[in-house]
Amino acid sequence: MYVIEIAGLRKTYRAKGRRDRAVVAVDGVDLSVAEGDVFGVLGQSGAGKSTLLRCVNMLERPDEGTVKVGGVDLTALDRRGLREARHGIGMIHQHFALLSSRTVAGNVAFALEVTGVPRNERRERVAELLELVGLGGRADAYPSQLSGGQKQRVGIARALAARPKVLLSDEATSALDPETTDSILRLLLDLNQRLNLTILLITHEMNVVKRICRSAAVMRDGRFVESGAITDLLDRPDSELARGLFPLDAPTSLDGHTVVDVTVSGDGADAPLLAEVARRFDIDVRIMAGSVEQLAATRAGRFRLAVPAGDDAPLNYLSERGARIGRPTAPSPIEIQGAAS
């Protein structure tokens, strides 16, 4: 069952007073997120991913298309209906967006006040939520006294106050250092599993997709270049995501050899495939580059191999054993982000 269903979403910004200078932020996006999934939209700044996310809870009103969350079409709701629907959609922000005038507990309580939880029930629920995100001892601190990671934990506790089914994450770890990013990603994955929380996140960091996403989309110029389950995307020979997750250098040739990019996932990632091929066909297989990694979705690897030219049998054998063989491809634009993080 899909918790988020977006169809034909389009959003254009018009420069003030100049109709001719329109910027198409989201240009016809379809997106379905299954219950309990962690879906990552990967793209560089300006790709339109932030606008896309803000359309899911109607912080931005789409020009065209429908946005259904939990089966309810948000574009058709009046103000009151929309407010109620928003209680079921949590959101966390890149710069945390906490109230500086309230303590940690006060920030979480704010979400409960907004949802209409009676005063006498708030205190207990606040304590419970802070415990859930590992901030039990900091209830009386002000946000300015917290580290970035702690602030994001408050943001997460606040987002979960109304027991939402869906969590939207707007570059939630982009302002954090690598270790803190890891701890926040672990927390999100933990919440996803314990609460069956569906997470839709946008990010420019390949690492985030690698660590927690089971589905993903690559977004560029307002459109999805590719999207789907990560295991499916890895199966596509030309997947930008696969190239981004396992960056290889620009292709080089080797005299008398055929150079190919080989992607393996699932059980294939750990099978001694290359040794088998070498033994079976009595050839030298050179690994020019490559790696095997544990993704949230699956275990997978990608290699650039050089095999003696002229005989297709070894490569056909690899295909039969579940590996995807492709021509060597240049690094995709998103690899740059992946390599940096």
Partner 1 sequence: MTWSELSELLAVGLQETAWMVFVSTVLTAVGGLLLGILLVLTAPGGMLAAPAVSSVLGFIVNVTRSLPFIILLVAVIPFTRAVVGTTIGTDAAIVPLTIGAIPFFARIVEAALREVPPDVVAAATAMGATRRQIVGKVLLREARPGLVAGLTITVIALVGYSAMAGVVGGGGLGDLAIRYGYQRFDTQVMIATVIALIVFVQLVQTAGDILVRRLSHR
Which residues are at the interface with partner 1 (CB under 8 A)?
54, 57, 59, 82-87, 89, 91, 93-95, 97-102, 110-111, 113-115, 142-144, 158, 161-162, 168
Q: Report the sign of the C-alpha dihedral through residues 236, 238, 243, 246, in that order.
A: positive
Q: Where are the alpha helices (DSSP H) in 116-257?
A: 119-132, 148-159, 178-194, 206-212, 230-235, 240-245
Minimal distance, residue 110 CB to partner 1, in Å: 7
Q: Which is nearer to partner 1, 173 or 227 (CB)?
A: 173
Q: Which residues contact 46 (CB under 8 A, 6 or more apart)?
A: none
Q: Which is nearer to partner 1, 106 or 338 (CB)?
A: 106
Instruction: Specify whether the CB–CB gap between 135 and 104 falls below 8 A.
Output: yes
Regarding beta strands 215-220 and 38-42, do their DSSP bridges make them parallel or antiparallel, or are they unpaired? parallel
Minimal distance, residue 204 CB to partner 1, in Å: 17
Tokens 């996310």 correspond to: 53
**What whole-number distance in Å separates Cα of residue 180 and Cα of residue 178?**
6
Tokens 């063989």 correspond to: 325
Minimal distance, residue 295 CB to partner 1, in Å: 30
Tally helices (H) and strands (E) across the chain. 12, 14
Q: Which is nearer to partner 1, 85 or 195 (CB)?
A: 85
Tokens 């702690």 correspond to: 150
Minimal distance, residue 86 CB to partner 1, in Å: 4
Minimal distance, residue 51 CB to partner 1, in Å: 13
Minimal distance, residue 157 CB to partner 1, in Å: 12
Q: Which is nearer to partner 1, 101 or 120 (CB)?
A: 101
Minimal distance, residue 169 CB to partner 1, in Å: 12
Instruction: Specify whether the CB–CB gap between 247 and 338 falls below 8 A.
Output: yes
Q: Which is nearer to partner 1, 102 or 257 (CB)?
A: 102
Instruction: Specify whether the CB–CB gap between 242 and 302 falls below 8 A.
Output: yes
**What whole-number distance in Å separates Cα of residue 177 and Cα of residue 155?**
17
Q: Which is nearer to partner 1, 64 or 84 (CB)?
A: 84
Q: Which is nearer to partner 1, 114 or 271 (CB)?
A: 114
